[in-house]
Chains A and B, each alone.
Chain A
Amino acid sequence: MKIRRSIKDNRGEGELFRRRALTGFVLILLGLSMLIGRFVFLQVMRHDEFVTRAQNNRVKPRALPPARGLIYDRNGVLLADNVPAFRLEVVPEQVKDMSAMLARLGKVVPLGRDDLDAFRKLLAQSQRFESVPLKMHLTEDEIDRFEVNRWRFPGVDVVPYLIRRYPFGKLFAHVIGYVGRIDADDLQQLDPVRYKGTSHIGRSGLERSYEDVLHGTPGYELIEVNADGRTQRVLETHPPTPGRNLYLSIDVRLQKAAEAAFEGRPGAAVAIDPRNGQVLAMVSVPSFDPNLFVNGISQTDYSALTGDPDKPLYNRALRGVYPPGSTVKPLIGLGGLEMGLRTPQDTVLSTGVFYIPGQSRGYRDDVRGGVGRVDLVQAIEQSVNTYFYKLALDMGIDRFSAWMGKFGFGRPTGIDLMGESSGVLPSREWKTARLRQPWYPGETVIAGIGQGYWAVTPIQLVHAIATFAGHGVAYAPRLVMATQAGMGAPLKLLSNPPSGPSLIRNPADWDVINEGMQMVIYGAKGTGYGLAKGFPYTIAGKSGTAERFSRTTSAYNNDKNTAYLASRHRAWFVAYAPADHPQVAVAALLESGAWGASDAGPIVRKILDAWLAAHGGTIPGEERLPSSSASTALAATAGEPGKSPASASTGATP
């Protein structure tokens, strides 16, 4: 028996299958009988009831779209508003011949190709009794002309709706972004119930990142229709819940000052409060008018924006990546102290050229012949390349990238805006993954002055400087400070806990770097000497001038023409104030600036002036500098007075 069972018994299996199939069929018949039973219940026993309901079936639900949340700055200045407007809508089932009607209508109210394309797409996706928008934002003239001819167009109506308006136009285009019309592709992705009746959706900036908060929940009304499906009256209304209002941490006055400071030159600036990560200003220049996009931008306007060589649609603050140049030197110096590789008293001899032991290639200082022996504070003040070449080499690339990674380089900062670039932090792993090449010591050397495989966004750099200014405690940058359920409702503050404990083990190390960065501004040899003139609180900062192109020769370039240098350089300046208890950190980038301190520095200063003005000119609890000697209060080093900051600023190196 056992042996027979181990061979496949085809006949026995066939018999088993036959029994199972019959059982299965009986069960299926049972199931189908159940189904018929249910139909008997509905069609025979409850027939009369349903006939009555079908005859009285005159009530249809109609969605009531919610009003979009408004956006304010930190002091309640309105940045994004909803204003009433009118649009043409068509109920398809009431139009006999759609194309003939559109042709006739086009003679009364001009219909663009974009309008018609969008309308046809929506038409294909809508139910026949649903009203489909045809042309948005009618002018008063168009409304008048349509009203006169209204009788000729059954099923077409002028309908009021709310439209988004950005009163500050291009000032906030890169922060708030804009909304755009929902198109056929969006309908595939969106929750059909939540977006019923809604015509616009956040397309970029905060409008997109906070779409869920701003949108709200639709309500509905029950409307009575006649036998032809036409609306007779509204029976019940369940109002929609409007989207929540957003309060930004940005101050519109700082934002204006930052934008004006660029005078139209391409670049970006971001100001952050190092105590909580709140963004106080964020501009990318040039910008564009977001109101153009709300009703669908015309082809001409769009070509003008995309064809502009200065790329106004490009958000440089968030997506632009640039070598940071010398601006990262203070952070590298801090690493040297924290790792015990340097003491504040250790000095390095700058001879004009630095050699890796045993190699012949030289890495240059900015000043021919070098600046002699410098300690860490002096090295930051004068931006001495040799000091940082040697420090980076002693640190080694692995410790270097681990340390700088703590400041958030090489990954998104986590700001509440979509589309942030990661940038590049020089590291062995990055090079292996991207270029499949080993790491060379020479690359560590130039990484020490913010060149080589370095790419940072302005938001990353200001985040890193703010992390330092906040005594090593990092906060992800935040644009939205609070939300609000409706006008007058209490604000709900959004919490933004620090990303972790302080990066700095020894507080004395912070003091050394802070001194170095103050010397940049106040030291006679400081690269940013004079920038703080007249500013009543101490500023700490650092310039950076990064090369746009790598040098092809090792010869010194003697062309001092500023326009020529601007075409080759990117100018950075970073700063924070008041230096001892920082409350604001700023980074400014000029895409083509000759020198960091002389070109980007004044932009930072103007933002700091606006910040101080917004506080009424006084920072409570902070010591004011004596007004007579504000600019030279801390000048401790004897240097050659009168040396212009431009000729001393540095960072442009092999």
Chain B
Amino acid sequence: MIAALYMRWRRFLRRVMTRPRIDMPLAIGLLVLALVGLVTLYSAGNGNLALVGGQAARFVLGGALLLLLSRIPPSVLRSWTPWLYAGSTALLVLVAVLGEGRGADRWLNLGVMRFQPSELLKLTMPMMVAWYLHPRQLPPSWKDMAVVAALIAAPVGLIAKQPDLGTAVLVAAAGVFALFLAGMAWWRIAVLAGAVAGMIPMAWHMLHQYQRDRILTLLNPESDPLGNGWHIIQSQIAVGSGGIFGKGWLHSTQSRLDFLPEHTTDFIFAVFSEEFGLVGVTALIVLYAFIIGRCLWIAMEARDTYSRLLAGAIGMGFFVYVFVNGGMVAGMLPVVGVPLPLISYGGTSAVSLLVGFGVLMSIHAHRKMHH
């Protein structure tokens, strides 16, 4: 009995070794990133091992989900896509009706745990756009673009209304990237970009007062000493005082003395910059660029339109995280709740990111064969 199980285990291991289902360069990139994340978290959390342990446990859970998803063929994911999209959007509606949370109604209480449906859309949104464009003639026509725009607008509108501007931007970006990768003509992109720019005054009008305040605070941080202005100033002091080589691990004075708020979550990049300096920042950004590039390479190798668009959109979406969070920490963009991927402390974001990479691994495993 035991011998039989052992033999099966050996056979499984051999199959995994000889024909890996996961892309090793991407996996190694993610692993390095996760380790950097835990090391930074140890320092940012003032040596709180429980914090680091909790985050590591989430990485393990996310990793397991990644392996699980890598075994589901993209064709199966594709057939599930409309249901997944409809389901996650329905949950958003549910949250809008009976949600709860800190000022923003974005959580759904499941009794055992609280759960944020907008997190699901980060994956189901590019899936849906890819699903819709998959059987269609590319580059997309005006009509197809209109349908995709509606598919994006409905859930993004619900998320922005929660109000969770950060997640709304991430979800919308994922959908728009899929459209861009589908070969939407440059002149159409120009027309739409012009239209969006024309709507900015209207959008400003629709923002919540506190969202407007955040943008205005960026221009004059001293005006808000108890809120975001304080965050922006302290974050820039942390980053700037780090210099080229940084103050060294465990030596960030800004977070140690609690001048830097949210230093384990949204502002952890500031702690990293203070401790590891410009050298560390550059290395980290190169690592992110490598992961994004690898995602796009996997996308190019993919078998069909659905897989291509999905993999590409996930990879490019990853960039938005890095850019928005980095821009916020460096005082370039307003304070919105976007975490630094796989570095910021926080459960749902780490797990959902790894699930997305699981989809990429599956696309890689089912890539087209070279003859």
Contact = CB atoms under 8 A, between A and B. Distances in A.
Interface of A: 5-6, 8, 10, 13-14, 16-18, 20-22, 24-25, 28-29, 31-32, 35-36, 38-40, 42-44, 46-47, 49-51, 53-54, 57, 60-61, 63, 93, 127-129, 187-191, 193, 196, 218, 220, 222, 225, 227, 229
Contacts of B249: none
Contacts of B336: none
Contacts of B132: none
Contact of A44 (B101, B226, B234, B244): B244
A28 B180 contact: no
Contacts of A49: 240
A43 B237 contact: no
A8 B134 CA distance: 10
A46 B180 contact: no
Given A39-B330, A61-B225, 19 more contacts: A5-B137, A14-B300, A17-B309, A17-B312, A20-B312, A21-B296, A21-B312, A24-B316, A25-B296, A31-B323, A32-B289, A35-B322, A43-B244, A51-B241, A57-B259, A188-B101, A196-B226, A218-B226, A229-B258
Interface of B: 100-103, 135, 137-139, 177, 180-183, 225-227, 230, 234, 236-244, 253-254, 257-259, 261, 273, 277-278, 281-282, 285, 288-289, 292-293, 296, 299-300, 304-305, 308-309, 312, 316, 319, 322-323, 326-327, 330-332
A28 B292 contact: yes
A17 B282 contact: no
Nearest to B241: A54
A193 B254 contact: no
A61 B230 contact: yes
B183 A44 contact: no
A222 B183 contact: no
Contacts of A190: 103
Contacts of A40: 278
Given A50-B236, A54-B238, A191 B258 contact: no
A17 B368 CA distance: 15
A239 to B, nearest CB: 14
List 4 tightest A-B contacts by C-beta distance, closest first: A50-B240, A54-B241, A16-B183, A42-B240
**Candidate in B102, B225, B308, B330 with the most chain A CB atoms within 10 angstroms:** B225
Contact of A24 (B102, B138, B181, B273): B181
Contacts of B101: 188
A17 B315 CA distance: 14
Contact of B139 (A16, A28, A218): A16
Contacts of A25: 292-293, 296
B299 A17 contact: yes
B239 A42 contact: yes
A5 B141 CA distance: 13
A38 B331 CA distance: 9
Contact of A6 (B137, B227, B241): B137
Contacts of A53: 237, 240-241
A496 B329 CA distance: 50
Nearest to B325: A35
A222 B259 CA distance: 13
A127 B327 CA distance: 25
21 contacts: A8-B305, A18-B300, A24-B177, A24-B296, A25-B296, A28-B316, A31-B323, A32-B322, A35-B322, A36-B282, A39-B239, A40-B278, A43-B244, A50-B239, A51-B243, A54-B241, A57-B234, A60-B259, A188-B101, A196-B226, A222-B225
Contact of A32 (B138, B227, B285): B285
Nearest to B327: A35
A220 B312 contact: no
Contact of A35 (B225, B312, B323): B323
B55 to A, nearest CB: 17
Contacts of A225: 257
B327 A38 contact: yes
**Candidate in A49, A50, A225 with the most chain B CB atoms within 10 angstroms:** A50
A20 B140 CA distance: 14
Contact of B102 (A18, A32, A44, A188): A188
A17 B181 CA distance: 6
A14 B368 CA distance: 11
Contacts of A54: 237-238, 240-241, 253-254
B135 A8 contact: yes
